[in-house]
Every structure is written in structure tokens, then in C-alpha cells.
A and B are shown apart, each in its own frame.
Chain A
Amino acid sequence: MLKLIPVIVFTMILSACSNISNLTLYQQLDGQAGLERLVDSFINQIGNDEQVFHYFEHANISHFRAGFLNHLCVLTDGPCKYTRDSMVEIHTGMHITEADFNHVVDLLINAMNEQNIDHTVQNKILARMAPLRSQIIKI
């Protein structure tokens, strides 16, 4: 087990680097204005994408925009209540594949990069979204 010490020490040093921020993710994203900039970037990414655009072809953009904003606001601990249809209801019948789901994640990351959102904040947002995948794909 002695040989494991470098691995354990490495992990501990990483943990020690944690700086606990008191700001909510919503605040770190510059609140509603920041979320709107992010969602607009994301919509722009999807609009220019050949692979997944067909999922959104018949979608009402302003409806999608308002829904995604509301969802992000809730996910990032903003001052919102989830008022939209459930994830399952929205995605039923779309038959989204694993690959296309990950491609949309790539597009969201592109949008977050475009908005200069800090890497660690990006990861925290993705961590809150990842558990929703089972309510989105292959239904």
C-alpha cells in the first residue's frame, strides 16, 4: 500500500486547492443577463450545425429560448421556479442518440467558451446537467 502514497497525496493536494465560493453559479454567470448571452450563443451554435439542427427544425425558437433560460436559472440556483414541461415530455419522440447528445454538449461548451465562462464554472454547470441525460436521450 506504500506505493499508493503518491496517488493519495496527489489527490489531497488537489482537494486542498478548493476555494469555496459563496456566490451561486447564477451570480457567477452574471445573472439573467449572462444566461441570456449564453443561451443566445448556444442557439447560434445549433443554428449553424449540420448534425443536430434537424432536431430543432420545427421548434419555436422563442419558446426554446425561454424554456432553456428558465431551466438554466433553476439549475444554477437563480431566483426562478421550474415552470416548463418536464425533460421527458419535451424529448419524447425525438429519439436523440448518445452521439448527438454529446454533440449538443460540445456546442454548449463552444457557447460557454464564446461567452468566456470560466472553465471551472463550465464544469459545475455540466455536472448539474449530466444527470438529466437519461430523461433526454433515446425516448
Chain B
Amino acid sequence: MNKLKLLFVTVITLSVFDSFASQGKLLATPGVSQVEGSGGGGIVPWAQLAGYASEDEFAINGFCSRADVTDYTLDVCGTQINLFNRVELSYAQQNFAVPALDTEIEQAITGVKVRLYGDIVYSDWPQLTLGAQHKSLDDGTVATLVGAKETSGTDIYLAASKLHLGAIAGYNWFWNITTRYSEANQLGLLGYGGANGGEKLLFEGSTAIFLSREIAIGVEYRQKSNNLGLGEQDWHDLFVAWMPNKYVSVTAAYLDLGSIAGAAEQTGWYLSVTGYW
């Protein structure tokens, strides 16, 4: 938890220096921060790079999120650096609490993302991004116990996204599609690979409508593999994001994460705050 506290303090400290903020993108177009630290929705990394940096600027963001489902809690804090809207570097620390077993599983995730083509608003074709997330468990005891082959792994993903101005009855419509090559079990919190296999190509998608410049509502879907044979299921969420200015965003969601480590019907709430500089 000390790393989480350090990150939290860093976020608060940075927020004092908001005069450095880059503001070169349109409001809300960078999206928010997903649970593995990349710029995205809540559970899906998006093609946009986190932060308001345009091609002549850089941006630094910090975020903290909490997912609270039936039998578990996941806390994540992290940071992203956006270099000239070309490269996003991210770091996140996850803390997964299992109160029933009085256990916490911690994982660090380092991410990199490169914009290959386009701009979600202005280009003819969708913005296209290639990314990687390297994840490593601090202590692999639980992962090994449930049958995982590895305690660290790297996901690779390709994401495409587009914002269509005024597309649905005059409201702005956003979509993102991501394909991920991964062997992670439950984000990697339960290790990597297992008796049922390893790397698989997985599909993820998000779509949202902007009710105003500041508020978007949407849904997300993330396909999961079942390497451990513990009945891991696909994830869904229904979210509302509030982006009142280019300094802060707040996202709330209803989560349906299916079965986790044999505990069925893990549903609950998600809250995430990102600060932008």
C-alpha cells in the first residue's frame, strides 16, 4: 500500500502545478484511465493517448481507481506520460484484496503505446494505436497455487477508435475496438497461462454517446480466456464519465466481471479519477 500512497501524494502534488497543463486536444477526447494504467475507458485500452498533449506538447496525468465487486476489491493508482501525442508511457500499481482469505495480491504494470495513424476527431480513418503492457506480480504465491505457469507476462494490443461528430441525432458518438494478445488470468492478478493454455487473441470494445461536451455514457466489453479452468468469464461495464474541464475527469461504472477464482457473479461499482497536467 505504500506505493499507492506515494502515487496518491504525487498526484496531489502535481495538481498544484496545473499551469503546466497542456490543453491541445478537444475536451474529453483523450478518454480516461483504464485499470491497467493505459489511456482508455475503464477496462479497455483505447487508441487515444492519455492526456491533452497535441503533437507539440507533452502531458503528465495521474489517476486512482477502485473496483468493488461482490467478493473482491481492486485499487489501482498510476500515471501516464504523453510525449507529443505519439508515445504514451504508463505505470500502474494494482492492489487486489480478497477479504475472505485475508490476502492482498499486488501487481505492477508498465505500459507503452504508440499512435500509428490518425486523430479520433479529424482523420478520415479511425485513429490506430499499438500498445504493450508488461505486468509483474509482486508475490506469485496465489497465482502458482491456482495453477498459473508464470507470474509475469506481456500483453500486446492494437486499438482503433473514432469520434463521429453529431452522428446520432446530433450527439457525438464514440467507439473503440481493441484486439489483445495475452495469456493473463484476471488481468494477471492470478498469473499467466495455465492448464488450459496460454496466449490467445482476445476482443475488446467500447462505445459511448456524449450527452453534452462534459458527460458521456457508454458500455464496454472485454473478452477473457479461461487458462486456469476456474470459469473466468468476459467482463462488461456500463459507465458514465464526467469531464468538466481539461484538468480532471471522474468515471463511475457498474461492473459485471462474471466468475473470479471460482466465486460466481462478481458485480459491483467502479470509481476512477484522473488529473491532467
Binding site for B on A (CB under 8 A): 3-4, 6-7, 10-11, 14-15, 17-19, 97-99, 102-103, 105-106, 109, 118-121, 123-124, 126-127, 130-131, 133-134
- Per the bound structure, the CA–CA distance linking A20 and B167 in Å amounts to 12
User: When the two chains form their complex, are residues A98 and B236 in contact, meaning their CB atoms are under 8 A apart?
Assistant: no
Interface residues of B in 49-64 (CB under 8 A from A): 54-57
Partner of B209, one of A3, A4, A14, A102: A14
Q: A residues within 8 A CB of B54?
A: 97-99, 102
B264 interface hit (Cβ, 8 Å): no
B147 interface hit (Cβ, 8 Å): no
| Interface of A: prevailing SS | helix
What 1/0 mask marks residues of chain B from 188 to 226 whose CB sits below 8 Å from any chain A CB? 000000000000000001010100110000110101000
User: When the two chains form their complex, are residues B171 and A120 in contact, meaning their CB atoms are under 8 A apart?
Assistant: yes
Q: A residues within 8 A CB of B205?
A: 4, 7
Least Cβ–Cβ distance between A86 and chain B, in angstroms? 19
A6-B219, A120-B170 given; A106·B27 CB < 8 A: yes
User: When the two chains form their complex, are residues A17 and B168 in contact, meaning their CB atoms are under 8 A apart?
Assistant: yes
The 3 closest A-B pairs by CB, nearest first: A120-B170, A99-B24, A123-B166
Least Cβ–Cβ distance between B142 and chain A, in angstroms? 27
Least Cβ–Cβ distance between A134 and chain B, in angstroms? 8
User: When the two chains form their complex, are residues A123 and B170 in contact, meaning their CB atoms are under 8 A apart?
Assistant: yes
B169 interface hit (Cβ, 8 Å): yes
User: When the two chains form their complex, are residues A109 and B170 in contact, meaning their CB atoms are under 8 A apart?
Assistant: no
Partner of A4, one of B25, B85, B121, B221: B221
Least Cβ–Cβ distance between A132 and chain B, in angstroms? 10
